[in-house]
Amino acid sequence: MTPREESSATSGPGVAVSEVPAPGDVAEAPAGSVQPEGGLRISDAAARFGVSARTLRYYEELGLLSPSAYTAGGERRYVGADLEQLERILELRDVLGMNLDEIREFMHSERRLDELKSEYRANKNSKTGSARAQQRSILQEILALNESLAEQLEAKLTRMDAFRATLLAKAKRCRELLAELE
């Protein structure tokens, strides 16, 4: 089973999806799992989010998640920002039903938005003509990215609504057939 299939079927070895903490409900780290300055070991980070260590390695291979630090022995260490990124990946996967390619694209857009916001804030008080033109350009790119992300979500919601409508129609038909049998 690939890590992708594993993460779809369960959220880790023997952990049902319903047992996984919801995004934002990160459990306390097990005693001794946080290194004083080094962050969480891969097994502890995986356990905290209900995924396997292999899933984290797979996300790293895909460029979705990179640990901020490594020990002298080469062990991965995940710190707060890494854990927030993992939480975001799982939120996009579990809540929005995105596949890994969609998650990569979505997160790339979010990173670009963060860069643009920083650029805009750095030049916000500048009143020169060239600064205003740069601000306008930045805002236009931010607008385009936000609209693109909104369109992606709208398309996914439309597909989900169609799927739900099909299920409801089938349920209605079953109720009708049951009524005929009475």
* Residue 24: per-residue pLDDT: 41
Tokens of 39: 């962050």
pLDDT at 48 over 80: yes
What are the C-alpha distances in Å from 157 to residues 58, 66, 89, 96? 27, 30, 18, 9
68-105 per-position pLDDT tens digit:
999 989 999 999 999 999 999 999 999 988 999 999 99
Q: How far is CA 160 from the centre of its chain?
A: 18
* Residue 141: per-residue pLDDT: 96
29-38 per-position pLDDT tens digit:
443 443 435 7
Tokens of 116: 């643009």
pTM of the model: 0.69
Contact in structure between 102 and 152 (CB atoms under 8 Å): yes
What is the C-alpha separation between 135 and 111, in angstroms, rounded? 18
* Residue 5: per-residue pLDDT: 41
Tokens of 146: 């936000």
The fold of the 3-92 domain, in CATH, is Multidrug-efflux Transporter Regulator; Chain: A; Domain 2 (1.10.1660)
pLDDT at 151 over 90: yes
Domain ranges in the chain?
3-92, 96-181
Burial, 130: exposed, middle or buried (Cβ in 10 Å; 0-12, 13-18, 19+)? exposed
